[in-house]
Amino acid sequence: MADGNSSDEDFSDDWVLYSHRPGWADIEPLPQDDGENPVVMIQYSEKFNDVFGYLRAIISRQEKSERALELTKDAAKLNAANYTVWQYRRDILKDLNADLYEELSYIGKVIAENPKNYQVWHHRRVIVEWLDDPSSELTLTESILDMDAKNYHAWQHRQWVIKKYNLFDDELQYVDRLISEDMRNNSAWNERFFVLKHGGFTPEVLEREINYVMTRVGLIKNNESPWNFLRGLLQQGTGKLTQFPSVIDFCEDLYNDGIRSPYLLAFLVDLYEERYFEVLRTTGGNVDEAEEYRVKVQDLCESMANQHDKIRCKYWRYIAENFRRKAEAHINADGGRNGV
């Protein structure tokens, strides 16, 4: 069984069809109703038809018993993505007042076999909420992320449990390890931002994180993840890309050293456009300085379109044209006093 696909492979050789079990003789299985004229008939296996025929019958009777609970387990083996299977299993668990820690152990094993299946993660969340016990969740998600560090479902569950139960304390340390192992792990960068946002972007935090991300960019320049993280940081505080001179110096030093990462160049386009309008808005703005930024924006856009990001050449020409129009509108609104 893998990620919700129907499979007979998880059953032992001595597994017996429900139709052959004396303990189920009182149940008449309900076949699947595909209507009078089904467009495409799915050829289910004998085992699949058997299990789900009995499951439909049990649900129609609203039977909530130990045997029904075991039946849902077999149904989940055949199709772990079936919402009805998990919902009815939860109904049975409640009715039987079942051991939820035993269920937590069971669903942990199912998740390990189906780590990218929404329904199994949702079932896990519900059981954790019923128990009001998140003590195993960070360990579980860490084990899944060790297999695939970018598993969206594991990250979603991890963020949910951290936020709901206030488990932020050691998360930065965990994320730092993941980033150190793979600096291109966008999920880990996203998690870092998630944790920081909870604590608040104080000036001290911003300065620390900007130094942190610039160090990582310095190690791998052509890495989109830390560039996105840097932009996210700079949207805090004043919200301006130019608010930290150290960032400007860092980016310009990279450019002057011959680095032509498209992420660096895109950042510089936005930074120089911002600086252009800042200069023009300044009383008695320096016309020559503004003109330098205008030329830089245009040249960088052309460089991206023609060499460093050719697949998006139309986008970069649009950016250049849009900048030209905004600059022209600003000058016209200003009565041409700056003469740029």
Task: Tell me the CA distances in angstroms from 50 to 29, 65, 78, 256, one per residue in order.
Answer: 8, 19, 11, 70
Question: Which domains, ranges and CATH numbers included, belong to the chain?
Answer: 168-239 (1.25.40), 243-332 (no CATH)
Q: Which of 64, 116, 150, 164 is catalytic?
A: 116
Task: Provide the greatest CA pair distance for the chain.
Answer: 95
Chain segment 231-260, per-residue pLDDT in tens = 999 999 889 999 999 999 999 999 999 999
Cα 340 to Cα 337: distance, rounded to the nearest angstrom: 8
Q: Which two tokens stand for residue 97?
A: 């007042």
CB 195 within 8 A of CB 175: yes
Whether 116 sits among the annotated catalytic residues: the reply is yes
Q: How confident is the model at residue 285 (pLDDT cuts 50, 70, 90)?
A: low
Chain segment 87-119, per-residue pLDDT in tens = 999 999 999 999 999 999 999 999 999 999 999
* Residue 32: CA count within 13 A, CB half-sphere: 13
Cα 59 to Cα 64: distance, rounded to the nearest angstrom: 9
Chain segment 52-68, per-residue pLDDT in tens = 999 999 999 999 999 99
CB 306 within 8 A of CB 325: no
Residues 6+ apart with CB under 8 A from 334: 280
Cβ-based burial of 264 (10 A; exposed 0-12, middle 13-18, buried ≥19): buried
Cα 283 to Cα 274: distance, rounded to the nearest angstrom: 16
Q: Which two tokens stand for residue 113?
A: 């076999």
pTM over 0.85: yes
